[in-house]
Amino acid sequence: MHYYRYSTAEVSCCYKYLLFSYNIIFWLSGMVLLGVGLWAWSEKGILSDITKVTRLHGFDPVWLVLVVGVVMFTLGFAGCVGALRENICLLKFFCGAIVLIFFMELAVAVLAFLFQDWVKDRAKEFLENNIKAYRDDIDLQNLIDSLQKVNQCCGAEGPDDWNLNEYFNCSAENPSRERCGVPFSCCVPDPAVSLFLSDKLLLDSFNG
Tens digit of pLDDT for each residue in 189-207? 655 544 544 555 555 555 5
* Measured distance CA(27)–CA(83) in Å, rounded: 13
Q: Residue ranges of the chain with pLDDT lower than 50?
A: 1, 3-9, 193-194, 196-197
Residue 179 CB burial class (10 angstroms; 0-12, 13-18, ≥19):
middle
In the prediction, which pLDDT does 6 show? Answer: 46
Beta-carbon neighbour count of residue 24 at 10 Å? 17
pTM: 0.66
- Helix, strand or coil, per DSSP, at residue 133: coil
Domains along the chain with CATH numbers: 13-114 (no CATH), 117-187 (1.10.1450)
Provide the Cα torsion 115, 116, 118, 120; round to 10°. Answer: 160
- 130-157 tens-digit pLDDT: 888 888 888 888 889 998 888 888 888 8
In this prediction, residue 32 carries a pLDDT of 94
**Helix, strand or coil, per DSSP, at residue 4:** coil
Long-range CB pairs of 45-54 (<8 Å, 24+ gap) are none
